[in-house]
Each structure stands twice: as structure tokens, then as C-alpha cells.
Amino acid sequence: MSDMPQCRRQFLVEFIELYRSYPSLWQVKNKDYSNRNKKRFRLIKKCKGVDSSANKETVTNKINSLRSVYKKEMAKVNKSATSGT
């Protein structure tokens, strides 16, 4: 049971690296960005290794969740930088 957080962390690191390695998922000017058939297929496959019922919606929710957390953390960093602490 104590290995579960480490396993989850490892999955998230691999998920983010996989997302980062396919610019067609996040780079708007990429020629494959608008090809909906290609998008997120590899990420869905990665998620199926952890959750067998994973689908496009699961991956979309995961990406949005990660973006939200990132934006909140960046806001904290920017706020502390402007306050001088």
C-alpha cells in the first residue's frame, strides 16, 4: 500500500513526458493538431495500463486537471515574486 503514491507519481511523470513528446497534442500550429483521429490515442493507451476503462474523456480530464494545477502553482509563484518574499 505504501508503494501506491510512488506508482501514481511515476505514472504522472510518464504521462506528462508522453504528452510533451507529441507536439501535435498541444502545439496549435502543428499540421496534425486538428486531426482528431490521431490525437490522444497514445495517451489513452498509456492510461489503459493503469485504468482499463480509460477513454478519450478520461485523458481529456487528466490533461485539464494537470493544466489547472500548473496554473494555480504558477499564480502562487508569480504572486510571491511580486510581493517580494
Q: What is the DSSP letter of 30?
A: S
Q: What is the pLDDT of residue 78?
A: 92
What confidence category does residue 3 fall into, taking pLDDT thresholds of 50, 70 and 90?
A: low
The model's confidence at residue 4, banded by pLDDT at 50, 70 and 90, is: low
What is the average pLDDT value for the chain, to the nearest integer?
84
d(CA 5, CA 56): 24
Domain interval for residue 8: 4-83
> CA torsion, points 66, 9, 4, 45, in degrees to nearest 10?
70
pLDDT of residue 68: 94
Give the integer Cα–Cα distance in Å for 64 and 19. 12
- 5 has a pLDDT exceeding 90: no
Query: What is the average pLDDT across 6-18?
Result: 86
The count of domains in the chain is 1
Do the beta carbons of residue 40 and residue 61 sit within 8 Å?
Answer: no
Cell numbers describing residue 3: 508503494
Q: Which residue has the cell 483521429?
A: 37
